[in-house]
Amino acid sequence: MKNPGSGLSTILRRISAALEPHGIHARGVVNFPAGGGPLQPDGSRAWSVVLLGNVGGSIWPAFTRWQKTYDGPDPLDTWSKQLIRPVAETLGAAAYFPSDPPWQPFQGWAMQAEGLKPSPLGILIHPEYGLWHGYRGALAFPFAVGKPIRKGTHPCDRCLDKPCLTACPVGAIGLSGFDLPACRTYLASESGGKTCMISGCLARNACPVGEKFRYPPEQLRFHMAALAS
């Protein structure tokens, strides 16, 4: 079943009205051939997925206000679900989250929807936001949302110096991949506690793309604590 012509603008307006006050944006749309989308609760396959996420530190003010009232595990995931699930129910969509099975290919969807590619850190780099963005969930619809795929240039192809490759004190970042054990060992050290754990990943901070979207210090420390655990 395909949506009417006005469906796209109506859906995105409703998503924006519900979620943008909390800093969650509709980041892009992926359309699938019939039967090619993720499995929905009724056993059918979705025709379209709308990706939802943050741009820079957009989620941080709303999340930190909510966090003051919450004393439980996985606060960011819990907050995201509390916001996104009611929107899915209202719009007749299925909600998916990076933290929940069945695991969905969020990075693959983002590459299709926004034309992104991975950086040496493994994080998808955006031509405007750089490494300062993320995906909090997705809404899958039983009809086609006809938004063109957004294509952008890959910033890493234009970056000659590639400072991210030399900024890590333990060489955990390289063209061959990300050495997570080496990273965590450094974060647990005295030096790591005085650098990355305080001001964010040195390699991520070294990237010159999207500097104005860099996360605020409190958000950097929150994500580093999650990475170190």
Q: Which has the closest alpha carbon to 152: 133, 165, 180?
A: 133
Which residues, listed in sequence order, are joined to residue 52 by a DSSP beta bridge? 26, 137
Q: What is the mean pLDDT of residues 90-112?
A: 94
Looking at residue 10, its pLDDT comes to 84
Looking at residue 62, its pLDDT comes to 98
Higher pLDDT, 113 or 197: 197
Looking at residue 1, its pLDDT comes to 41
Reported as a pLDDT band with limits 50, 70 and 90, residue 69 is very high
- What are the pLDDT digits (tens) for 35-52? 789 999 889 999 999 999
Instruction: State yes or no: pLDDT of 146 exceeds 70.
Output: no
Reported as a pLDDT band with limits 50, 70 and 90, residue 153 is confident
Domain boundaries along the sequence of the chain: 7-154, 156-228
Where b means 16+ CB within 10 Å and e means fewer, 98-118 reads beeeeebebbebbbbbbbbbe
- What are the pLDDT digits (tens) for 176-200? 889 999 999 999 999 999 999 999 9
Q: Which has the closest alpha carbon to 56: 110, 130, 116?
A: 130
Q: Which of 4-18, 97-111, 139-153 has the highest mean pLDDT?
A: 97-111
Q: Which has the closest alpha carbon to 54: 137, 135, 139, 123?
A: 135
Looking at residue 134, its pLDDT comes to 97
Reported as a pLDDT band with limits 50, 70 and 90, residue 87 is very high
115: alpha, beta or left, given left = phi > 0 and alpha = psi -120 to 50? left
Looking at residue 148, its pLDDT comes to 56
Q: What average pLDDT does the chain have? A: 92
Q: What is the mean pLDDT of residues 113-127?
A: 93
Reported as a pLDDT band with limits 50, 70 and 90, residue 7 is very low
